[in-house]
Amino acid sequence: MVTFPPGYRIGHWTDSARLTGCTVILPPPGTIAAVDVRGGAPGTRETGVFTPGNLVSEIHAVVFSGGSAFGLAAGDGVMSWLARRGVGFAIGKTRVPIVAGAILFDLGVGESGAHPNAASGEAACEAAGEGTIATGAVGAGTGATIGKLLGVAKASRGGVGAASLELPGGGRVAALAAVNAFGDVVDPQSGRRIAGAIGQGEDWLEARALLEEGLEASPHAGANTTLVCVATDVPFEQGSLKRVAIEAHDGIARAVRPAHTVLDGDVVFALAPAGPAPPILTRLRVGAAAAEAAARAIAGAVARA
């Protein structure tokens, strides 16, 4: 049973027939965000807002969606849902919800014309709640696949995973991952492959195949991404929180091989309560926990799928 820190609500909209969906993360008031994009083919919404020094640092929702760039429309629905509830950045009498997001490509798995839209984003908000996070082939992970060097037809199922760690002396770090990776997913501790191209031996790894095999006939499908949202209840300011987002990418690299390729849209969002930068030791612990939670969430997505 995995939960996020108190106050976070997570919901999914799932289309199991057409194999697509979206996932929304609604943080408690006063939450700030930082983002780090490392994949070579990202599809994102509002990530530029969270550059340290910019006007806005507070975030009101994170949306992960299938449907490639079409799926960014789910964020419009989340924005409308929040606006009706008076949630947003105040500009005079107006409140503008700050909704960030990222997408993954699942159009080659289910119905090619199916993708989440604004109504899907609203439905995910309506389904959002605190407590145990639903994982596996749900939400943004519904049509996700893993290990596509030999094409989608030989790929394994991906999905949504989650993990949470307690810090020494108090504090929590949790991660949610939507895993649609080009590379294999490996056990973060042993390096053993646990998901990838079907029909290959246990020792076959895409990272090794890229270096050692001809692969002239490989379709090497360019439709991949690992999306991660890390949340902590330890207060941060945005500059130091940016480092947490960077360090969380280490978790992707531990669990996905190869990671951050030119065919992946890997993105990490880091969320925390607004406050002063914590002491250095705490920052180190939160960063290490973010990487570990991300790696465990990715491996958990495979196990649940």
The reply to whether 149 falls in a domain is yes
Q: Residue 258, preceding bond cis, omega within 30 degrees?
A: yes
Report the percentage of the chain scoring pLDDT > 90: 78
**Average pLDDT taken over every residue of the chain:** 93
The first and second tokens of residue 52, run together, are: 């340290």
Measure Cα distances from 68 to 122, 136, 225, 297 in Å.
18, 19, 10, 22
What per-residue confidence (pLDDT) applies to 153?
83
**pLDDT tens digit sequence for 8-23:** 999 999 999 999 999 9
**pLDDT tens digit sequence for 239-286:** 999 999 999 999 999 999 999 999 899 999 999 999 999 999 999 999
Q: How far apart are CA 58 and CA 238, in angstroms?
A: 9
Stated as kind and residue range, the H or E segment containing 280 is: helix 280-304
What per-residue confidence (pLDDT) applies to 222?
58
The reply to whether 211 falls in a domain is yes
The reply to whether 199 falls in a domain is yes
HSE-CB at 148 with a 13 A cutoff on CA atoms is 26
Report the percentage of the chain scoring pLDDT > 70: 97
The CATH number of the domain holding residue 41 is: 3.60.70.12
**pLDDT tens digit sequence for 185-238:** 999 998 888 988 887 776 777 777 777 777 766 666 557 899 999 999 999 999
The reply to whether 37 falls in a domain is yes
What's the rounded mean pLDDT across residues 77-84? 98
The reply to whether 193 falls in a domain is yes
- Tell me the residue range of the domain where 266 lies: 9-304
Q: Is the pLDDT of residue 34 over 70?
A: yes
What per-residue confidence (pLDDT) applies to 304?
73
Longest dimension (CA), the chain: 62
Q: Is the pLDDT of residue 4 over 70?
A: yes
The reply to whether 1 falls in a domain is no
What per-residue confidence (pLDDT) applies to 254?
96
Three-state DSSP class for residue 194 = strand
pTM score:
0.94
The b-or-e profile of 98-118 (16+ CB within 10 A means b, else e) is bbbbbbbbbbbbbeeebbbbb
Pairwise pLDDT comparison (203 vs 108), residue with the higher score: 108
The reply to whether 3 falls in a domain is no
Phi-psi region for residue 9, left (φ > 0), alpha (ψ -120 to 50) or beta? beta
8 Å CB contact between 146 and 185: yes
Q: How far apart are CA 264 and CA 145, in angstroms?
A: 12
Domains in the chain, number:
1
The reply to whether 117 falls in a domain is yes
Place 119 in a pLDDT band, splitting at 50, 70 and 90.
very high
